[in-house]
Amino acid sequence: MQFDMMQFLRSSWVLLLMGSLSIVVVALAIERWFYFQRTKMDSEAFMEKIKGFIVDGSYKEAIEYCKTFKGNVAAVVRFGLENRQFPREENDKLMEAKRMEERLNLDRYLDILGTLGNTAPFMGLLGTVLGIMQAFKDLANTTGAGPEVVMVGISEALVATAAGLSVAIPAVIIFNLYMKRVKIISVEMDAVSKKLLVLLANYGEGASGRKRG
């Protein structure tokens, strides 16, 4: 009895599922990569520019400058500038809410990658168990058959485990890489929020000894 890989691929619903999930992993990895590349920015240089606008009292220019960026950091700073008329404590709370909203954008689809990374091996293992059960069933129904009947069935069944791991390993790696990026951006959003509040307090409207714009 020969191991017909193509026939096994066509008949195994687990492998068909693993193939579909691998496409999902690749699609989400590409989508998130483009998102993080599109929102990538130098937050320190950005805040230096914002500081110059605030010192000059050019708030409209500062807001327009923020609009030229698609990043989460720029969105938080822009929100803080647009609500600068509120007391510092209130503006801090507003920017905290904005950071929460931006965190949702950062986390989008990552839960799917994490779930696939955790569950794909078990789905592959399920396919292997079902395949082994079928192999022993075939052995019982085949009169005078040798152990090669079981060996072929088991070898086919183990393909499901390999397929599950081939989906899970990339998903976990990609998930961890992107989660690290999310943490970095989250820290940057917290940092620029604090910097903006200090700048507004010392150079903004109402600050003593400074020109207002």
Q: Please write the tens of the pLDDT for every residue from 151-160.
A: 766 777 788 8
Instruction: Output the pLDDT for position 160.
Output: 84
pLDDT of residue 211 exceeding 70, the answer is no
pLDDT of residue 186 exceeding 50, the answer is: yes
What pLDDT score does 181 carry?
96
Share of the chain above pLDDT 90, in %: 65
pLDDT at 143: 60
For residue range 42-66, list pLDDT tens digits in order. Answer: 999 999 999 999 999 999 999 999 9
Indicate the average pLDDT of the chain: 86
Rounded distance, CA 45 to CA 20, Å?
43
Q: What is the pTM of this model?
A: 0.80
Q: Span 33-47, mean pLDDT? A: 94
Going by pLDDT thresholds of 50, 70 and 90, the confidence category of residue 121 is very high
pLDDT of residue 213: 40
Examine the pLDDT at 205 and tell me if it is beyond 70. no
Q: What is the pLDDT of residue 3?
A: 45
Confidence (pLDDT) at 194: 96
Pick 140 or 172 by higher pLDDT.
172
Predicted local distance difference test score (pLDDT) of residue 159: 83
